[in-house]
Each structure stands twice: as C-alpha cells, then as structure tokens.
Chain A
Amino acid sequence: MALTVLVMIPTRNLFAVIVLSGIYSFLMATALVALDAVDVAMTEASVGAGISTVLLLGALYLCKGEEAKPVHKPWLPLAVSISVAALLVYGALGLPEFADPSAPIHQHVVPRYLQNEVDVPNVVTAVLASFRGYDTLGETTVVFTAGAGIIALLRRRKPRDAQP
C-alpha cells in the first residue's frame, strides 16, 4: 500500500493516479479482511475501488489528463499535514493494545451489544440498524444530501442563448 502511494505522488498522469488509487482501495479491503472487518472491507471494495474509480474516470473525461504544475510552493500544506500526522501517531500511541479485551471500549456497551437481545446473528448489522439506528438515519440523510447537492450543482442548465 505504501508503495502504491509512493508511486502515486510523483505521477502527473491522472489516469495512472486513478488506477493506482483503485489498487490502493483493493489492498485496503484485503487489509480489512485480515482484520476480520468483512463488512467494511466489502464497502471499501465496492465504493473505493468500484464506484469512485468510475466516477473519477468520468470526471477525468471532462478535463485534461495531465496534472497542472502547482502555482504555490507546497511547503505550508506539507508542514501542516506532517504535523497533523505526527499528532495522530502520538495519539495512537496512547491507545490500548489491538484486540485487548480489557480496553475501555470493550467494558462499556459492547457486552450488551454482544448479548444480542435483537437476535440477529451479524452483530454489525444489529449495532448499525438497531442500537445505533439514529446514527444510521443520519448517515442516510447525509448520503441523500450529497445526492441532492450533486443535482443542484450539475443540473442540466438551459442553453446560454436562451438566457437574457
């Protein structure tokens, strides 16, 4: 995955970048399967590698295939992203061990989720649709809003000479 990103950075051909990001998504899905998060892996494979690749290719069709030279020097954004990354790594060092059963997150509501009073074998679905139903309603509304925004932005306008 790191190799994919490193190849992606100096590449100026946007088509190659899109294909590489699709490869990155598939590798990410594999990593998620290795972490036993099959639901997320499925989403990553279908959204990250499938739909978004198609959408990016569609966007590429509308513009030029080569990335333009940047106007500004990249030092300020680079400094910001490196410092944010350092902060995140510093924060991640304070997290409990991976799959540690005594981690705080496994002490609070997880036992109740795993008792599975809704009797649905896939706990992810139970948490997503039942225990956290409000969250999922919000997510669905966000997706709907994204669609509505796309319609508002890209709605087919009337030809220019029809306008005053």
Chain B
Amino acid sequence: MRHDLVLRVVAKLLIPFILVFALYVQFHGDFGPGGGFQAGVILAAGIVFYALIYGVDTARKLVPDWLVETLLASGVLIYAGVGFAGLLLGGNFLDYFVLDHDPIHGQHRGIFWVEVGVAVTVSGVMLKIFYMFASRGRLDEEQDKGGGDA
C-alpha cells in the first residue's frame, strides 16, 4: 500500500481533518455529542490510518513508543489528579464545585480536565494495542527469515 499514489495523497488530505475533528469532539463535548472517549478513539484512528498508509515504522517515528506509554498512564493520573485537587481544595474526591470561585466554572473546569484524562488514556491504549499487533507480525517475519526454527 505504501506505493499507491492515490491512497497516499488522499491520506495526506484527510488526516489533518481527522485530527481536527478529534479536537472538535473533545472540546465541543460539553455542547454537542462527543467527549473524551470518542475524541481519543478518533485521534488514535487518525494515527492508525497514517500507519496503515505510510507504514508502522514511519508512524513510530511520529508517535514513538515511550510517548504512547506515557500517554497511557498519564491519562488516569490526570483524572485521579482532578479528584485529589478537589480534596486539596476542601471538597470531596472528584468534587468539581471547589475548583473555582464560581461553582459552575469549577464544574466546567473539572469536566474539561476529566475529559482530557479520558481522551489521553484511550488514545494511548488504542495506539499501543495497534503497535503491539503490528510489530508482532513483523517480528515473526524477521524470525522466519533469520532463524527458520522460530
């Protein structure tokens, strides 16, 4: 697929829109359909699309493994961090009303960060699973070529 001109050009045209749509779903989740989970999946789908067209190695250069693993863990930490921020500011765990002087703004801020956490974890996990499957196939091929007994 790497040498198909049509696919490469179409992918180049589409991927920015996919990524922007992910951001739209993320930040417009308060007003329309969408939210962290959907945004994370769409973001990951954009990068998976890139990997399908341009090869997993190119995608790995763009979004390296350590970044994916960091994303995977930091999303949960952001979410739990919002909870503990509520505790530190004198509320209950995951109590957003205390995050700002105005309780409504506090709610908005809390929901925003929670959604960011969800999106970060989901996109990290989806990408990691994809990378794992993709690289496993290639590893087997290398072993077949090299050893023969693998």
B contact residues, total (Cβ < 8 Å): 55
Q: Check if B115 sits within 8 Å of A42, measured CB to CB.
A: no
Q: Check if B107 sits within 8 Å of A120, measured CB to CB.
A: yes
* 128-164 of chain A: CB within 8 A of chain B: 128-130, 133-134, 136-137, 139-141, 143-144, 146-148, 150-151, 154-156, 159-161
Tell which of A18-26, A50-58, A90-98 binds the partner: A50-58
B31 within 8 Å of A (CB atoms): yes
A118 within 8 Å of B (CB atoms): yes
By a CB distance below 8 angstroms, the chain A residues around B96 are 118, 130, 133
By a CB distance below 8 angstroms, the chain A residues around B135 are 156
A contact residues, total (Cβ < 8 Å): 46
A62 to B137, CA, bound (A): 6
Q: Check if B111 sits within 8 Å of A140, measured CB to CB.
A: no
Q: Check if A62 sits within 8 Å of B73, measured CB to CB.
A: no
By a CB distance below 8 angstroms, the chain A residues around B110 are 129-130, 133
By a CB distance below 8 angstroms, the chain B residues around A121 are 30-31
Question: How would you classify the secondary structure of chain A's contact residues: helix, strand, loop or mixed?
Answer: helix
* 1-49 of chain B: CB within 8 A of chain A: 25, 29-38, 41-42, 44-45, 48
A144 to B69, CA, bound (A): 10
Q: Check if A120 sits within 8 Å of B75, measured CB to CB.
A: no
Which single member of B45, B115, B121 contacts A144 (CB below 8 Å)? B121
A66 within 8 Å of B (CB atoms): no
Q: Check if B130 sits within 8 Å of A55, measured CB to CB.
A: yes
A160 to B135, CA, bound (A): 17
Q: Check if A143 sits within 8 Å of B121, measured CB to CB.
A: yes
Closest 8 CB pairs of A and B: A147-B125, A38-B33, A58-B133, A118-B107, A133-B94, A129-B111, A154-B132, A46-B41
